[in-house]
Amino acid sequence: MSTPPPDLKAAIVAAARGLGFDDCRVAPIHRASHADIFADWVADGTYGDMAWMARNTERRSDPSLVLPGARAMIVVAMNYCVDAPAPASAPAAPAPDGLPQPGAAGPAGVIARYAWGNDYHDLMQDRLRQLCDLLAAHGGVQKPYVDTGPVLERDFASDAGLGWNGKSTVQIHPKLGTWFFLGEILTTLPLPADRPFGDHCGKCTRCITACPTHAITAPRRMDARRCLSYLTIEHQGPIPLEFRHALGNRIYGCDDCLAACPWNRFARSSREAAFAAREYVHGWTLREFLGLDDDGFRTLFKGSPIKRLKRPGFLRNVCVALGNTGTAGDLPALHTAAVDPNALIAEHAAWAIGEIERRA
């Protein structure tokens, strides 16, 4: 392979910025710095239902096993920090056919900020492929990933100087705080690496204190089985009884440890319009979500990360949130859900009915 021109890295960074990425840096290829900690985490079984995390742990820890001949890893960050929309001054627009009209009374649910807009996977993957075209023109062989590849991406983001791994295990960026996505490209091109930024958490433990279920068992140690994000998104079965009250009115994910980070004071609003909050994020009540059938669910969440959860898992979460915050006005909808053909929905609806009646 011919040696790439010395200004190629600058061209890559400029192209990444032009594609909407907020930072772009290069890490060297080596075994991940937290590979042994990751292996211990897998051995402890704290990955829960995420069985794919326990497969091929060495391959996940060593990028050279993913792309033979890899010489560098390009790591990008994309800001998704969007603000909640102001309350509407006019009536909501009519809902699409087959969906309930938003605006009914009742408690609302909370959705993690990363899922307010369009699914970032497809958006970032498409732009990474465009960046790969530039690398291929200089003779490189590439593999791009956005959460889907066997790469311990936060280790390499830290190696590249793209922030550092916080005590919550979430990556922290000095200018973006915690509100950003990571993507990476493995390449056979010998690009010069950037320098690490270093760990700047200091003595702060706000993220650990903020966790509602004490899922952060020690700095940079996460028991996924206790994490509300895991339980509402990745976990396929019933929400364990011991965590249902802690769920509060969350219906998809949890931002508590992210929001607690003091580095978010430097965060700025995202320039990516695709991440803007959809109407249902702040305009729908839990009762309205409970009225979705399969077609309505797919229509409402088309292009959203939430669609991947599917209706049973999402309405399971909605039922728990209603059990925690609902009123007698929500009971008719819950009684309907309690006879849903899907056992997961029916069981959680019955639990919610019992909780509301107990409070009454």
pLDDT digits (tens, 9 = 90+) for 174-192: 999 999 999 999 999 999 9
Q: Is 236 helix (H, G, I), strand (E, B) or coil?
A: coil
42, 175: one domain:
yes
238, 302: one domain:
yes
173 found inside a domain = yes
290, 239: one domain:
yes
181, 305: one domain:
no
Q: Which of 144, 172, 187 is the last residue of a domain?
A: 187
169, 67: one domain:
yes
269 found inside a domain = no
263 found inside a domain = no
Give pTM, 2 decimals: 0.91
Residue range(s) defining the domain that contains residue 46: 8-80+117-187
193 found inside a domain = no
Q: Which residues of 172-186 are buried (b: 16+ CB within 10 A; e: fewer)?
A: bbeebbbbbbbbbbb
45, 126: one domain:
yes
Could you read off the pLDDT tens digit of each residue along the chain, which spans 360 residues?
556 677 899 999 999 999 999 999 999 999 999 999 888 888 888 888 887 777 888 888 999 999 999 999 999 999 999 987 655 443 444 454 545 555 556 899 999 999 999 999 999 999 999 999 999 999 999 999 998 888 999 999 999 999 999 999 999 999 999 999 999 999 999 999 999 999 999 999 999 999 999 999 999 999 999 999 999 999 999 999 999 999 999 999 999 999 999 999 999 999 999 999 999 999 999 999 999 999 999 999 999 999 999 999 999 999 999 999 999 999 999 999 999 999 999 999 999 999 999 998
128 found inside a domain = yes
Q: Is 337 helix (H, G, I), strand (E, B) or coil?
A: helix
How many separate domains does the chain show? 2
15, 72: one domain:
yes
300: number of Cβ within 10 Å: 23
258 found inside a domain = no
pLDDT at 360 (0 to 100): 84
65 found inside a domain = yes
25, 128: one domain:
yes
CB 224 within 8 A of CB 231: no
Catalytic residues: 147
247: number of Cβ within 10 Å: 21
183, 236: one domain:
no
176, 29: one domain:
yes
Return the residue matching tokens 């978010």: 264
Task: Give the span between the Cα atoms of 211 and 209, in whole angstroms.
Answer: 6
| Phi/psi-derived region of residue 283, left when phi > 0, alpha when psi is between -120 and 50, beta in every other case | alpha
322 found inside a domain = yes
183, 300: one domain:
no
Question: What count of residues does the chain have?
Answer: 360
Q: According to DSSP H, which parts of the chain are helical?
A: 8-18, 35-43, 57-61, 120-136, 153-159, 206-210, 228-229, 241-244, 256-259, 279-283, 286-290, 294-300, 310-325, 331-337, 343-359
163, 15: one domain:
yes
